Structure 1
Amino acid sequence: MSQNVSQPDEIAPEQKNQVPWKERFSYSLSDFACNLSFQMVGTYLMIFYTDTFGISAAAVGTLFLVARIVDAFDGPFWGIMIDHTHTKWGKSRPYWLWFSIPFAVFCVLVFTTPNLSLTGKLIWAYITYIGVDILYSSVNIPITSILPSLTSNPQERVTLSTIRQFMGTAGATIITGITLGMVAWIGGSTTSKRGWFIWALVVGIIVVILFAIVFKNTHERVQTKSSRKSIPIKESLKALKKNWPWAIIIFINFIYWLGMQTRSQVTVYFFKYNMHNAGLASLVLSLQLVALVAVVLTPLTSKLIGKRNTMLGGMILACVGQLLLDLGASHLSVGMIVFATIVGYLGTGYVSGLIAVMLADAVDYGEWKNGVRAEGIVTSFSSFSAKLGMGIGGAITGAILSSTGYVANHAQSASALHGIEMNYIWVPLLGFALSAIALLFYHVDGIEKKMQSDLAAKHARENAEAE
């Protein structure tokens, strides 16, 4: 199914290459499914390992660093595989059919607690954690790599990414908000081995069903000369040559997720030990719903002031939220912490959805600048950079907790409480601030119209030659 990118001039630009609502919603379920499973891993796996499975914080930190560095390289691998894939279903879409079940299986295994020695537990944790990360890439990278193939309309891409981010945030909010309660309801406590296993199994089944819907209802309609054939690795790498928009977004993806990982991993610790009320963690995590306000406003905001400025404003809001968190933590003020969290989520709501859109723009920029359209390799580095950032963030979390004297399920010393605050407030703040600085060097918005016009003409020529 090919898309004619050179439609008649009488059609308004914003109406060209629009995607039907059924397909928009189905596409958004991909991120909903990913966040249901992977947010559960990202938010709760560390405290599951330390307080349920019985692995020390230092060992978990090392595990997260080693595992993430190892599996970070699977991102380019999956990108190359996508660029080499040519099926009746397209290039990106079949990966949801092939790998959703293996991914769901490992999401369950990572929360399974076999009766093993400490060494055996570590081996089990390494195998299952690396496995879930690698398989996550197999279903997550296609979500971004398929976006340039769903439509060539820049504003429609923002719309698609906004709906996707809305559902992704909803999935993250649901899973982080109800997981502790569901584990306790199933197993009798938040440290129940049985509770974690059964709840992970339920989530895994839901994830498989959702990906089946995504596969059935999405279509790769933008067909170019490159998309109709397998691209050699050497050729696909040319798309990255002097692709500065890509380099900037990849850096932002790295440092942003480093900060987000440290914060999410210690959220439960912060409320359990610093605020002496673990139940508040679920309330604060459920405030991610606030991000949906920013997500809904993203298409309008980016249309008015540009994608770069919209994301920059989000980063600044996220920084302000972290500074307000410090004020709330120093006074043990629940009200201030809630307010600070709302401000921060408003900021990150503008950020997350636009990363995928800007990567899609980088695909176009690589083709415009270098003549090579390689959706897989260009977008796959988002997984590499995010995982590397999250791995280093996990290592930082473990190192800080260990060096400041954290002891699982005990009252914490003043230094340990300070270590938890460092992870929850200051490391994320640094990540957001560096991301904001990097955005000052991003200048694609100013050349987007010419780039899209040139590419539309190029695709029209190629499609005419292919007929």
Structure 2
Amino acid sequence: MTIDAPARLEAKGARPRLAERMSFAFGDIVGNGLFGLSGSYLLYFYTNVYGLTAASVAMLMLLVRVVDSVSDPLIGYMIDRRILFGGRVRPYLKWFPLLFGLATFCCFLPLPLGPHGKLAWAYVGNLALGITFSLVIVPYGLLPNVMTRNGQDRLSLAMFRMCGATLGTFIVGACTLPAVQMFGQGNERLGYPITMAVAGLVGGLVAMIPYFTCRERYTLDADQAPLPILLGSLLRNRAWIAVTIVLSLFYINMTAFYGLSIYYAAEVLGRPKMFGGLLISLMGIGKVFGTMASPFLVRRLGPRGTVIAPYVLSMACLALFYISPNRAEPLAALFTLTCFFEGMTLPVFYAMLADSIDFGARITGVRAAGMAYSINSFFGKVAWAMGGALSAALLGWGGYVPQAATQTPTARAFITFGFIGVPMCVACVSILLICLYPSERHLAAVSAPNPLKTDP
């Protein structure tokens, strides 16, 4: 990485100011918000509104996400080789967010087609959504690496990013179903596409804000190493491997909460669908406050401890949620606490990711920032695909019947396992895997100061 301005600028205050760090959050308000719409409501839209079977949706979500995941490494390769925009990442946020918003709308556009035509249109819309999402989120994710080298600033940027992401989650949960009702007047087939048209346009414009407000103080070195060398350097970087796997598992957790909240509220708890939307909103609220508390915990427990302790506490809260009486207040409080503890891990994951990229460059001598982040995003998409497909498959395996007055005990059990059991399994596995991430002492030995500590 080379400096495109004198190095003394950072010492004289050229580091990102508060306004710049806050504006950086807008990228993930939209990224998490629009992609969260597909995670929260697309499964319901396809099965209950558009008339696709749960089995076909499960296969769709798995195949499309895996196929479009290839776009992430390709975009990273383009950035590393400076094929587009001279290797700069901000211009991507000028040209592609509106296309991302358009793709979101197309996914919820119920074209009057036959059964095979409907399925084909769903494949096209989801493929376009994944590719345009990559064109926005891969360069956006690399912004901290070109905005600052200061470890504390990167942690701060990660915190603001996660606040933006969780705010996007809150907006998705709080506004989507009321908007569908308002625009459709009870007709979900009309309400969903109008809602998504508005969300796509507004979201596309908001996602452009970091292009105008964030500054690239450093440039990513163009690494001309052959692709096998780039990939080999990543396989030698255990810090990057550990955080990539754990962050990917987190996406599976998110798909369980996003995709099955409406089903769990309506079919297991016997409550209105709006309660499922409330749970999604509470997920956003809990994670916002958890994100804000994360730096406090990092200073006391370190990065790995700030993953392990909150995951243990989140499992405890989720277990209490499961056995709690079916009353709105305790359910809402326990679910909010579950997401609060999970939210503590989010800034640490992204700070770890940014630092692991630089760590890998130092231990391997190969600079592959674009490839490292894009493959991380690739595995995140695969995990998102697996989680979405698993949620749909659980509905099919349990014998879920759309619009049925009541579901069978088997169907309710499968929904419960998806909503409660899958996140519990993710937390257990993540606690074990995060121990593979290098300790602070190891990171300091490779390069001082520690990137997760304040630079002197």
> What's the TM-score once normalised by structure 2's chain length?
0.92
TM superposition shift of 1:87: 6.7
Amino acid at match of 1:413: T
1:14-51 CA distances to partner (integer Å, 9 max, x unpaired)? x9763122321221111011122111111110001111
Question: Which stretches of structure 1, 4 residues or longer, exceed 4 Å deviation after superposition?
Answer: 3-8, 86-90, 229-232
**SS where residue 309 of structure 2 aligns?**
helix
Judge which range, 252-261 or 127-136, deviates more: 252-261
Match of 2:397 among 384, 389, 403: 403
Q: Which runs of 5+ in 2 are unaligned?
A: 452-456
The 8 Å contact of residues 3 and 223 in structure 1, kept in 2 or not, is answered as: no
The 8 Å contact of residues 69 and 381 in structure 2, kept in 1 or not, is answered as: yes
Match of 1:437 among 401, 408, 432: 432
Match of 2:212 among 200, 209, 216: 216
Structure 1 pair 168–425 and aligned structure 2 pair: CA distance change class (3 A)? same
Say whether 1:25 aligns with 2:22: yes
Judge which range, 85-94 or 136-145, deviates more: 85-94
Aligned to 1:461: none
Match of 1:298 among 294, 297, 303: 294
TM superposition shift of 1:448: 3.3
Q: Which runs of 5+ in 1 are unaligned?
A: 457-467
Match of 1:264 among 252, 258, 264: 258
The 8 Å contact of residues 172 and 280 in structure 2, kept in 1 or not, is answered as: no
In 2, Cα distance between equivalents of 1:218 and 1:144: 13
In 1, Cα distance between equivalents of 2:76 and 2:312: 32
Match of 2:312 among 309, 316, 326: 316
The 8 Å contact of residues 246 and 359 in structure 1, kept in 2 or not, is answered as: yes
**SS where residue 25 of structure 2 aligns?**
helix
In 2, Cα distance between equivalents of 1:356 and 1:451: 20
In 2, Cα distance between equivalents of 1:178 and 1:281: 12
Structure 1 pair 23–69 and aligned structure 2 pair: CA distance change class (3 A)? same
Aligned to 2:370: 376
The 8 Å contact of residues 319 and 429 in structure 1, kept in 2 or not, is answered as: yes
The 8 Å contact of residues 97 and 212 in structure 1, kept in 2 or not, is answered as: yes
In 2, Cα distance between equivalents of 1:249 and 1:187: 43
The 8 Å contact of residues 39 and 176 in structure 1, kept in 2 or not, is answered as: no
TM superposition shift of 1:318: 2.4
Aligned to 1:103: 100
The 8 Å contact of residues 57 and 401 in structure 1, kept in 2 or not, is answered as: yes
Say whether 1:243 aligns with 2:245: no
The 8 Å contact of residues 234 and 360 in structure 2, kept in 1 or not, is answered as: yes
1:59-118 CA distances to partner (integer Å, 9 max, x unpaired)? 111111111221222221121122122677752212112211221111110010000011
Aligned length: 446
1:251-291 CA distances to partner (integer Å, 9 max, x unpaired)? 11222212321231010011111122222112222212122
The 8 Å contact of residues 17 and 152 in structure 1, kept in 2 or not, is answered as: no
**SS where residue 290 of structure 1 aligns?**
helix
**SS where residue 440 of structure 1 aligns?**
helix
Aligned to 1:463: none
In 2, Cα distance between equivalents of 1:7 and 1:205: 38
Amino acid at match of 2:188: S
Say whether 1:187 aligns with 2:184: yes
TM superposition shift of 1:216: 1.2
Structure 1 pair 308–316 and aligned structure 2 pair: CA distance change class (3 A)? same
Amino acid at match of 1:275: L
Aligned to 2:270: 276
The 8 Å contact of residues 235 and 241 in structure 2, kept in 1 or not, is answered as: no
Amino acid at match of 1:187: G
Aligned to 1:351: 345
Query: What does residue range 122-133 of structure 1 map to in structure 2 within 5 Å?
Result: 122-133=119-130
1:343-385 CA distances to partner (integer Å, 9 max, x unpaired)? 2111221122222211111111111101122211111122111
In 1, Cα distance between equivalents of 2:225 and 2:155: 27
In 2, Cα distance between equivalents of 1:111 and 1:274: 26
> What's the TM-score once normalised by structure 1's chain length?
0.90
The 8 Å contact of residues 440 and 450 in structure 2, kept in 1 or not, is answered as: no
In 2, Cα distance between equivalents of 1:103 and 1:385: 20
Say whether 1:206 aligns with 2:208: no
Aligned to 2:420: 425
Aligned to 2:380: 386
TM superposition shift of 1:454: 8.5
In 2, Cα distance between equivalents of 1:37 and 1:215: 18
Aligned to 2:454: none
In 1, Cα distance between equivalents of 2:211 and 2:382: 28
TM superposition shift of 1:126: 0.7
**SS where residue 400 of structure 1 aligns?**
helix
Aligned to 1:116: 113
The 8 Å contact of residues 29 and 167 in structure 1, kept in 2 or not, is answered as: yes
Judge which range, 295-304 or 88-97, deviates more: 88-97
1:311-354 CA distances to partner (integer Å, 9 max, x unpaired)? 222222222232122213xx434333223212211122112222
1:157-197 CA distances to partner (integer Å, 9 max, x unpaired)? 000110111122111111221100110011012x5122111
Identity %, equivalent residues: 25
TM superposition shift of 1:423: 0.7
**SS where residue 436 of structure 2 aligns?**
coil
Amino acid at match of 1:173: F
Aligned to 1:460: none
Amino acid at match of 1:192: E
TM superposition shift of 1:235: 4.6
**SS where residue 355 of structure 1 aligns?**
helix
Match of 1:83 among 54, 70, 80: 80
Aligned to 1:2: 4
TM superposition shift of 1:122: 0.5
The 8 Å contact of residues 322 and 426 in structure 1, kept in 2 or not, is answered as: no
